[in-house]
Chains A and B, each alone.
Chain A
Amino acid sequence: MIQKTERGFQVIHQYKNNGYNIVMDVNSGAIHIVDDVVYEVIPYMEEGWKEEAIAEKLKDRYKKEDISEAVADCEELKKAGTLFTEDIYKEHVIDFKKRKTVVKALCLHIAHDCNLACRYCFAEEGEYHGRRAFMSYETGKQALDFLIANSGNRRNLEVDFFGGEPLMNWQVVKDLVRYGREQEKIHNKNFRFTLTTNGVLLNDDVIEFANKEMANVVLSIDGRKEVNDHMRPFRSGKGSYDLIVPKFQKFAESRNQEKYYVRGTFTHNNLDFSKDVLHLADLGFKQISVEPVVSLPEEPYAIKEEDIPLICAEYDKLAAEMVKRHKEGKDFNFFHFMIDLTGGPCVYKRLSGCGSGTEYLAVTPWGDLYPCHQFVGEEGFLLGNVYEGIKNTELVDEFKCCNVYAKEKCRNCFARFYCSGGCAANSYKFHGSINDAYDIGCELQKKRIECAIMIKAALAEEE
């Protein structure tokens, strides 16, 4: 008999998408594509029903021998540890709290100023509730020294040049990369520099330097011209699309369509955002990320709970279109549908979440440290500065304990090992606590995981 699985923690999530019956074994991470009979049998098995009882229950639709085979297949997977797997990770969380963390990534706010006036900007047009400022070379250098000194034996160190708009302080970016390259040799480190830019100041010098030095570049554009220009205007009100599109196309081509993302935000104003993704694909971009805006409900462009069904339908539409385009040899990557089912992160990573406040910190132009770029300007989240190091270790401990088991909403969610508890900043924004979860974000995340797995199922069928 199949033993009843532990109550209170979801161990199976199954759904239908684009003609596939998909079964996720939550705790092992195994994904199974099943036929109709198995799809119907599994919930009964999960509840501990015996084969005879299931056969009796489903006798009008399935033959006894089909039920018998389905149960046998499921039992085999259970023995192999890929179905009805129990959660064995909770005990590791205790060790996790005691773990010594090192800093391995910094988000450098190179410029708290911007040459665009995007309506949804969490940085408030670059100022982050504060003053306009550029990071000096000395502060940036100190930040890199701080990173090296606090990185323990981690070799790969990530530094994102962020803003505001970092190209407004480009010389400092170049100087810091040079400094980093010198230091990595001395300390046996490997810097991975990345750049996030709106493209306004993008030129050949930037392209050449970035192609040599930047492991990834994120190029901000929302999609269709009218969508982009409504939310991403210059301060004059003029749209940015016509200026940035040719530059981004040139940049993407010069990087062989790799190691970059065109990255957009969709809002309540363009809930048909699959059109924006496809527009970017039709412009020739191969690495695309278009993500839901995160803003409080009072903003007119905020995504509301009632928008969720429409957004989910758009994700379905987009996923099906991506499968179709793949078959036609016109495929592209959509960041939120990327999922690594075989070489993905270990369970430690999945439990620890994004690393904000512990492994990942943001640095303001004047050297203050915050748990991540989204907390910058929230004075209660000031951790210290690059000169004196981390002062608020209690806050770091709070972030250290921020994991799926600490969050009530995550404990019974099938997506918990994919999103790892979600974004602490979003949780804080909506609930005033980093140990909660942003509910709309959760629903969309779950849908994206379902779509991503469906795409994998469709591609596997071709093999």
Chain B
Amino acid sequence: MKHIKTLNAQTLQNTLKKGGCGECQTSCQSACKTSCTVGNQSCENNK
């Protein structure tokens, strides 16, 4: 594609299919404790 470079091919829609196992980390445990950040977490299924 001449005009567009896509950074990530995987889409959120696809995660509906196999997501929701709940094994992922709880957001506030990592560092923040005052500001919810979910988008930076990794999926345990992908490990």
| A residues in contact with B44, CB < 8 Å | 156
Say whether A335 contacts B13, CB under 8 Å: no
Whether A166 sits at the interface, judged by CB under 8 Å, is no
Chain B residue at minimal CB-CB distance from A39:
B3
Binding site for A on B (CB under 8 A): 1-13, 15-16, 18-20, 22-46
| B residues in contact with A435, CB < 8 Å | none
Report how far A192 CA is from B29 CA in the complex, Å.
10
Whether A160 sits at the interface, judged by CB under 8 Å, is yes
| A residues in contact with B11, CB < 8 Å | 28-30, 81-82, 85
Chain A residue at minimal CB-CB distance from B39:
A418
Say whether B39 contacts A449, CB under 8 Å: yes
Known: A154-B22, A355-B27, A356-B28. A28 touches B12 (CB 8 A): yes
| B residues in contact with A453, CB < 8 Å | 7
Main secondary structure of the interface of B (DSSP, over half): loop
Chain B residue at minimal CB-CB distance from A66:
B3
Whether A206 sits at the interface, judged by CB under 8 Å, is no
Chain B residue at minimal CB-CB distance from A355:
B26
Report how far A84 CA is from B3 CA in the complex, Å.
17
Among B6, B12, B35, B46, contact of A294 (Cβ-Cβ < 8 Å): B35
Say whether B35 contacts A343, CB under 8 Å: no
How near does chain B come to A462, taking the closest CB pair, in angstroms? 13
Say whether B26 contacts A360, CB under 8 Å: yes
Interface string of A190-232 (1 = CB under 8 A from B): 0010101000000000000000000010100000000000000
Report how far A386 CA is from B1 CA in the complex, Å.
57
- 7 contacts across the A-B interface (CB closer than 8 A): A33-B4, A69-B2, A156-B44, A293-B34, A346-B16, A347-B12, A453-B7
| A residues in contact with B2, CB < 8 Å | 69, 73
Say whether A73 contacts B3, CB under 8 Å: yes
Besides A192-B25, A339-B40, A341-B8, 16 more A-B contacts (Cβ < 8 Å) are A29-B12, A32-B7, A34-B3, A77-B4, A105-B26, A156-B25, A194-B29, A194-B30, A291-B32, A335-B31, A344-B42, A345-B43, A349-B20, A349-B38, A420-B36, A423-B34
How near does chain A come to B14, taking the closest CB pair, in angstroms? 9
| A residues in contact with B41, CB < 8 Å | 340, 344-345, 349
Q: Which of A336, A339, A347, A372 has the most CB of B within 10 A?
A: A347
How near does chain A come to B44, taking the closest CB pair, in angstroms? 7
How near does chain A come to B26, taking the closest CB pair, in angstroms? 4
Say whether B6 contacts A291, CB under 8 Å: no
Whether A367 sits at the interface, judged by CB under 8 Å, is no
Say whether B7 contacts A33, CB under 8 Å: yes
Among A70, A105, A456, contact of B29 (Cβ-Cβ < 8 Å): A105
Say whether B22 contacts A353, CB under 8 Å: no
Say whether A73 contacts B1, CB under 8 Å: yes
Among A82, A346, A441, contact of B15 (Cβ-Cβ < 8 Å): A346
Known: A32-B6, A355-B26. A336 touches B19 (CB 8 A): no
